[in-house]
Structure 1
Amino acid sequence: MSEPDPPIVLHALETCMTTPILSARNIEKSFGQMRAMQGANFDIHEGEVVALIGDNGAGKSTLTKILSGVLQPDSGEIYIDNTLVHFDSPLDARAHGIETVYQDLSLAVDLNAVQNLYLGREIASPGLMGRLGFLDKALMRRKAQESFARLGVRVPDMRAAVANFSGGQRQGIAVARALMWAKRVVFMDEPTAALGVAQTRNVLDLIRRVRDTGVSVVLISHSMPDVLAVSDRVTVLRHGRRVATYTTSTVTSDELVGAMTGALEREGAAA
């Protein structure tokens, strides 16, 4: 049995008064001799952005993959609205309203924006035409346009291949695809990596708009300015376990980095 988490730093308790929509408890995961998850815990509540941060190897990607059904934990429990669930595949997580926007975006760059939104979830034409394999392209295009408009995503040409779009535009398409199907939570893995200043600002605005729709966002990021700009809470992982949770409005970048590296613990021990 794993040891409990170290003491968690909480600067506000009102969020904890509500039931998390997604929780992980005592998650363990090993790859051979390497223990990637060592009793990790995680919570996210409805309508919030939680940043998940940690140094390289802290376990962010592993925890994200477990909570999105890509990996299965060796032990531990996952709850949706306090109900125990099991994710044997990403399809199971999606069935519970959980979507993920990976750092590589996982877009089919030879297809257009509409085709990417509906890839694997195409809408068949009604009646006989649908039974013969024909798709309702007009309906898919109209719903895609509504989704882009709701999020403020600018798509220059709905018929052009995604390969022709900028990094920020591709990011917007990937987020729109996730939000079209997500009902509860969207995981976003390094969404501003390799983007310029203007594109980064647009993506952060997009995250806020996703939250405003009622869908919660888990932001995995190494960028402390991005984390402080858009998150409501910050969960810090180190060595495969949660070591701190902060309310963003009351924490500094230095404190976050100190929690990630263990510097705060060393300072406390020396005091």
Structure 2
Amino acid sequence: MDADDDAILAVENVSKHYGSIVALEDVSLSIKDNEVLSIVGDNGAGKSTFIKLLSGVIPATAGEFYMRDEETGKLGQIVLDSPTMAKRSGIETVFQHMSLSMQHDVAANVFMGREPLKDGVSGKVLRRIDREQMERRSIEALDEIGFEIDPRAITGELSGGQQQAIAVARALITDPRVVILDEPTAEVSVEGSQKILDLIEELQASGKTVIFITHNLEEVFEVADRIAVLRSGSLVTELENDGTIDREELVGHMTGAIQQG
């Protein structure tokens, strides 16, 4: 396929149709290794559909997905027909609605559904969970992204920014190569939003590739290396966030006031 030499993930001619309704049409996009790519567009532009395809939540109607093999260094085709397959490919997604269990503590949420078992008979036979390991690794994962949160704290009693950090830490436990953040600042305070933007920079500094979806264009200009604009289910342009574009120009691409070509 035709992709950038430094691409870690690429999609080629991807479409999603629901009968006669076209949610996404013929999108080709390369995501570079260790970049922060922001995907923007008005409501109905196709952002959520695109993210669900990359996450394996819904299958594509047409098109292919590629991931760079860590051993060969070459792009190889991957199948993203389920969340499990996406995770196996190294893609983790933190959706806007984080699916955290508010009555459980931090460590329980970080390891929800993949709790480690104790060594020996107690783990293999009696299936006892290694709670000490869960707490230790939760602290490490949160520390990696710049948050200090008690692993025994009840999740529902924490701030929105802290809850987002827990959701990200849960994604990082599998050591993914690509982290997708879907509207991570939508329901948090101004202070919490800044912590999440700092978190994105921490993820990039640790070697992760980040795909960042947001309606807040000021946040895009603050953390994105590159911006992909979707409109009416199509990719209309890709822009380098190099200081030469402004909000008015970006909105023009989103609304169609500025046409490519």
TM interval, short-chain normalised: over 0.9
Equivalence for 1:4: none
Please, what TM-score do these two structures have when normalized by structure 2?
0.93
Shift of 1:154: 2.8
Matched residue SS, 2:28? strand
Equivalence for 1:46: 33
Q: 1:144 aligns with which of 116, 131, 138?
A: 138
Please, what TM-score do these two structures have when normalized by structure 1?
0.89
Matched residue count: 251
1:119-158 alignment to 2 at 5 Å? 119-131=112-124, 132-155=126-149, 157-158=150-151
Equivalence for 1:193: 186
1:37 maps to 2:31: no
Q: Do the aligned partners of 2:138 and 2:151 also contact (CA within 8 Å) in 1?
A: no
> What is the CA–CA distance in structure 2 between the aligned matches of 1:139 and 1:158, rounded to whole Å?
11
> What is the CA–CA distance in structure 2 between the aligned matches of 1:184 and 1:160, rounded to whole Å?
28
> What is the CA–CA distance in structure 2 between the aligned matches of 1:55 and 1:143, rounded to whole Å?
38
1:70 maps to 2:57: yes
Q: Deviations over 1:235-254 (max 9, x none)?
A: 00111111100001232111
Moved over 2 A (4+): 16-19
1:167 maps to 2:160: yes
Q: Do the aligned partners of 2:39 and 2:228 also contact (CA within 8 Å) in 1?
A: yes
Q: 1:23 aligns with which of 10, 14, 37?
A: 10
Which amino acid counterpart does residue 179 of structure 2 have in structure 1? V
1:221 maps to 2:214: yes
Unaligned runs of 5+ in 2: 69-74
> What is the CA–CA distance in structure 2 between the aligned matches of 1:116 and 1:104, rounded to whole Å?
14
Q: Do the aligned partners of 1:162 and 1:170 also contact (CA within 8 Å) in 2?
A: yes
> What is the CA–CA distance in structure 2 between the aligned matches of 1:194 and 1:125, rounded to whole Å?
37
Equivalence for 1:101: 94
> What is the CA–CA distance in structure 1 between the aligned matches of 2:164 and 2:191, rounded to whole Å?
13
Q: Do the aligned partners of 2:4 and 2:30 also contact (CA within 8 Å) in 1?
A: no
Shift of 1:163: 0.8
Matched residue SS, 2:258? helix
Q: Do the aligned partners of 2:4 and 2:32 also contact (CA within 8 Å) in 1?
A: no
> What is the CA–CA distance in structure 1 between the aligned matches of 2:95 and 2:176, rounded to whole Å?
18
> What is the CA–CA distance in structure 2 between the aligned matches of 1:18 and 1:263, rounded to whole Å?
32
Equivalence for 1:10: none
Shift of 1:17: 5.0
Give identity over the alignment, percent.
40
Shift of 1:120: 1.1
Matched residue SS, 1:263? coil
Matched residue SS, 1:181? coil
**Higher relative contact order (CA closer than 8 Å, sequence separation 6+):** 1
Matched residue SS, 2:252? helix
> What is the CA–CA distance in structure 2 between the aligned matches of 1:158 and 1:142, rounded to whole Å?
8
Equivalence for 1:12: none
Shift of 1:161: 1.8
Shift of 1:18: 2.6
Shift of 1:212: 0.7
Shift of 1:34: 1.0
